[in-house]
């Protein structure tokens, strides 16, 4: 270890952001808790259960802020996440990616090993057969959702597709329990008006409930009606017929969600702390030690009304500098500059100065780091160091 390296043992023991090796991923605990409470209240107010998606945080410490006591329910995007959370005591886990035969074997082994109820996702009779076969070998009755396509986003079956009932019947024949139907209104990320978002949420609800009704009319119980995306979860006004809502990025929020209109800049809970390592005054550039390796290559705001470059730049306390963005990024360099057309002037930031950079996409920025340095508001104190997992 060296003078500037964070000592994992030293977490909370007087360490401040000045003692962090940069670039460093910061997580504001106060904003995290505010974001968690906001959606929890909204969803419970509409009579549904929230099944948070852990693919953004990938951290047991964050999960425990969402569930101070209960063992879930949670959603995961990889079996590595399922194993990590199951081994940490979470017992109700939906693996929301269509399964392969190998994933079915691995997921059922996890259920057998930990007793966790791991639910799968599928939309073909081939997957139903593979999951049924894996269940027989494992001596477990597998449980799976049928994936729905409610907005031409990605995978899944249309509610009126005859294959919906065919797959449900095949699951029954293969010895796979139908957990319910699951949809994700991924196209809602492209919207940016309240009216459009409310309509997308209602479309997601109507289509998902319709699929459940069709299956029930054919004698399938279909107990769970699951839907969600961070934008539709926040703009839903009616969840009649829905049993659970899924969302993940809502815990941290990001510039894409800000562009959609789901949050304010002040709600963004993560940022990358960077150090100034150079300048090109004649070009209006300040160079920092955070490039795409720390910020991610995500440019999600490029297709929005306001392109935020590789991120919005704040001072070391987290206060936004008007019009200053990361205009370019290479592997370990970021170039800070004013947005095109700005009449502001660049802040004075000598070599060694610190800045915080807000993410285009929280899932992508966080994935570039192995731990969160937990802060609160504009205090420089590091309250804790929370590890995160990666891989598959």
Residues forming contacts to its own copies in the complex (CB under 8 A) are 2-5, 21-24, 55, 77-79, 83, 97-103, 105-106, 109-110, 113, 123-124, 126-127, 130, 154-155, 186, 275-280, 287, 289, 292-294, 296-299, 328, 330-333, 335, 350-352, 363-364, 367-370, 390-392
Least distance to its own copies from the beta carbon of 111, Å? 11
| Residue 161: both structure tokens together | 């597709």
Which lies closer to its own copies via its Cβ, residue 34 or residue 112? 112
- d(CA 212, CA 285) in angstroms, rounded, equals 55
107: nearest Cα among 87, 79, 133: 79
- Of 106 and 246, the one with the shorter C-beta distance to its own copies is 106
Q: Which is nearer to its own copies, 270 or 276 (by Cβ)?
A: 276
Nearer to its own copies, 63 or 294 (CB): 294
Three-class SS state of 354: strand
CB 102 → its own copies: shortest distance, Å?
5
Task: Please state, in angstroms and rounded to a whole number, the distance separating the CA atoms of residues 288 and 281.
Answer: 14
Least Å distance between CB 107 and its own copies? 9
Nearer to its own copies, 232 or 368 (CB): 368
Q: Shortest approach of its own copies to residue 120 CB, angstroms?
A: 11
- What angle do helix axes 125-138 and 163-174 make, rounded to 10 degrees? 20
Tell me the C-alpha distance between 381 and 337, whole Å: 28
Least separation, in Å, of the C-beta of 45 and its own copies?
28
CB 351 within 8 A of CB 277: yes
**Residue 41 Cβ, how far from its own copies at the closest point, in Å?**
26
φ and ψ at 278, to 5 degrees? 175, 180
- CA proximity to 165, closest of 215, 131, 113: 215
To which residue do tokens 């940022």 refer?
271
Beta carbon nearer to its own copies, 79 or 251: 79
* d(C-alpha 31, C-alpha 179), whole Å: 34
| Alpha-carbon torsion, ordered 92, 93, 94, 99, to 10 deg | -130
């Amino acid at each position: 270890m060296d003078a500037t390296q964070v000592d994992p043992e030293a977490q909370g023991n007087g360490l401040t952001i000045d003692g962090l090796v940069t670039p460093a991923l910061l997580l504001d605990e106060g904003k995290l808790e505010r974001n968690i409470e906001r959606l929890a209240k909204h969803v419970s107010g509409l009579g549904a259960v929230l099944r948070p998606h852990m693919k953004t945080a990938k951290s047991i410490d964050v999960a425990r802020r969402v569930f101070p006591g209960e063992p879930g329910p949670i959603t995961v995007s990889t079996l590595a996440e399922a194993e990590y959370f199951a081994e940490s005591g979470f017992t109700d886990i939906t693996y929301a990616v269509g399964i392969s035969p190998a994933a079915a074997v691995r997921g059922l082994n996890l259920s057998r090993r930990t007793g966790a109820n791991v639910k799968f996702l599928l939309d073909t009779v081939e997957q139903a057969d593979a999951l049924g076969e894996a269940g027989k070998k494992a001596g477990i009755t597998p449980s799976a959702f049928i994936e729905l396509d409610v907005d031409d986003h990605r995978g899944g079956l249309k509610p009126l597709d005859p294959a919906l009932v065919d797959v449900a019947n095949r699951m029954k024949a293969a010895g796979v329990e139908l957990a319910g139907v699951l949809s994700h209104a991924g196209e809602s990320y492209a919207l940016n008006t309240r009216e459009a978002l409310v309509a997308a949420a209602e479309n997601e609800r109507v289509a998902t409930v319709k699929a459940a009704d069709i299956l029930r009319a054919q004698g399938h119980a279909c107990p769970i009606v699951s839907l969600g995306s961070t934008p539709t979860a926040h703009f839903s006004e009616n969840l009649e017929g829905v049993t659970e809502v899924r969302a993940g990025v809502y815990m941290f929020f990001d510039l894409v969600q800000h562009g959609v209109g789901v949050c304010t800049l002040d709600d963004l809970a993560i940022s990358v702390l960077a150090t100034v390592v150079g300048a090109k005054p004649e070009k209006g550039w300040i160079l920092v030690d955070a490039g795409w390796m720390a910020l991610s290559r995500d440019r999600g705001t490029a297709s929005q009304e306001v392109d935020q470059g590789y991120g919005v730049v704040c001072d070391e306390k987290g206060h936004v500098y008007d019009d200053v963005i990361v205009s370019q990024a290479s592997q370990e360099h970021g170039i800070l500059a004013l947005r095109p057309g700005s009449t502001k002037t660049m802040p004075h930031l000598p070599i060694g100065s610190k800045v915080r950079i807000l993410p285009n996409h929280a899932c992508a920025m966080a994935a570039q780091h192995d731990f969160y340095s937990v802060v609160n508001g504009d205090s420089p104190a590091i309250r804790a160091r929370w590890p995160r997992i990666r891989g598959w």
